[in-house]
Amino acid sequence: MAPFIAPETSSLDRVAYLVGYPIAHSKSPFMHHAIYSALGKRWAQLLVETTDLESFLRYLKSDPKCMGSGVTMPFKVAVIPHLDELTDEGRTIGAVNTIVIKTNPDGSRLYSGTNTDCLGIRDAFFSNVEGSPYRGKPGLVVGGGGTCRAAVYALRRFMDCSPVYIINRDAEEVEAVIRECRARGLGQNLIHVSSTDQARKLAAPGAIVSAVPDFSPVTENEKTAREILSIFVNGNERGALLEMCYHPSPDTEISRLALQAGWQVIGGIEAMIGQGLAQASLWTGLEIDEEYRNIARLEVRRQMAASFP
């Protein structure tokens, strides 16, 4: 257990938090610091590494300097009952990574939950792929966790990819994703690709989101999932693959597989930056343009280089 400890904020005018456990490795506070410093503000995002979500939320709701919070594992679903409202992204994805504080007409606070992970995935493609070659083509997600749900949302709602294929070593996880997406109005044209024969009969995807850790396949299910992915990336068409895994290294087996097949590979820090910029805009009300994206990108890359020289 990691008890909640209130962070020191006396030197700051406004503050956002990132709550989760374990999160000591997160580069998010550095990114936010770079953005707010460039704006000339004494604002920051501070890590709150705790397993006591309820104590943190009581503190957040009593802190007059607080402008919002990021939420990461294991709280992205657990935080929902504690919020006053959900945006369409938060409701449809079924997970919240951002708390935004709004003011009611009577001056009281309203705590709104949203999901900027899907915006980060969207912006990773929009900022790095010239044109929109994936529109009208199938999309593909590798994985079955929370990021998979955000990726499905981004591919369907923002990138006009249809159908969306899902491949994963655990069939039950995929079925759960499809079932939940259908219940929330996002389930049309989601296809679980479970065999190599099935993969060879399907149209090639134009955009792929890999949302699994870096590992070498060992079990038969893992080997089948990787072979299915190999069939798609070595097909007749090439597109762009977003490799969400960048810790401890962006050089993953899946990124190498895609590069060797001639695909454009987008690093996962691009999605992290996109979701963080969306958070900064929601918390501050300021427009965060391409200049600040570049500032954030340089800082995150500097921090990554310092951590993994």
Within a domain: residue 141? yes
Are 142 and 73 within one domain?
no
Same domain, 172 and 213: yes
H-helix or E-strand containing 191? strand 190-192
CATH value at residue 84: 3.40.50.10860
Final residue of a structural domain among 115, 144, 177 = 115
Query: DSSP readout, 173-210?
Result: HHHHHHHHHHHTT--TTEEE--SHHHHHTSPPPSEEEE
- Mean of pLDDT values over 228-243: 96
Q: Does residue 33 sit in the same domain as residue 48?
A: yes
Which of 115, 144, 160 is the last residue before a domain boundary? 115
Distance CA 287, CA 159 (A): 22
* pLDDT score of 247: 76
C-alpha 65: how far from chain center? 26
Q: Examine the domain organization and report whether 134 and 253 are in the same domain.
A: yes
- Structure-block tokens of residue 111: 């705590």
Q: Which whole number is the average pLDDT over 222-239?
A: 96
The residues, ordered by sequence, that sit 6+ positions from 234 with a Cβ below 8 Å of its Cβ are 261
Residue 309 CB contacts under 8 Å (≥ 6 apart), including other chains:
none
Give the per-residue pLDDT at 263.
98
Give the per-residue pLDDT at 138: 97
Q: What is the pLDDT of residue 288?
A: 84
Whether residue 248 has pLDDT greater than 80: no
- Over 70: is that where the pLDDT of 309 sits? no
pLDDT digits (tens, 9 = 90+) for 52-108: 999 999 999 999 999 999 999 999 999 999 999 999 999 999 999 999 999 989 989
**Total domain count, the chain:** 2
Residue 84 covered by a domain: yes
Angle, helices 268-284 vs 290-307, to 10°: value is 130
6 found inside a domain? no
Neighbouring-strand partners of residue 267: 243
Element holding 86 (H helix, E strand): strand 85-86
pLDDT per position as a tens digit, 273-292: 999 999 999 999 988 888 99
Same domain, 104 and 145: no
What does pTM read for this prediction?
0.92
- pLDDT, tens digit, for every residue of 157-213? 999 999 999 999 999 999 999 999 989 888 789 999 999 999 999 999 999 999 999
Same domain? 100 vs 131? no
**What does the pLDDT average to over 219-242?**
96
pLDDT tens figures, 23-42: 998 899 999 999 999 999 99
Residue 125 contacts residue 242 (beta carbons within 8 Å): yes
pLDDT at 244: 93
d(CA 18, CA 24): 10
Q: Please give the single-letter amino acid code of residue 231.
A: I
Mean pLDDT of 5-32: 94
One domain, residues 215 and 126: yes
Query: Whole domain around residue 99: which residue ranges?
Result: 14-115
Looking at the structure, do residues 97 and 124 belong to the same domain, yes or no? no
pLDDT band at 51 (very low <50, low <70, confident <90, very high): very high
Within this chain, do residues 262 and 123 fall inside the same structural domain, yes or no? yes
Query: Does residue 102 sit in the same domain as residue 202?
Result: no
Is 284 among the domain residues? no
Residue 293 inside a domain? The answer is no
Q: Look at residue 23 and give its three-state secondary structure.
A: coil
Tens of pLDDT, residues 128-161: 999 999 999 999 999 998 899 999 999 999 999 9
Question: Which residue among 268, 285, 301 closes a domain?
Answer: 268
Let me know whether 259 and 123 are in one domain.
Answer: yes
Q: What CATH number does residue 146 fall under?
A: 3.40.50.720
Q: Identify the helix (H) or strand (E) that includes residue 69.
A: strand 66-71
Residues 133 and 201 in one domain: yes
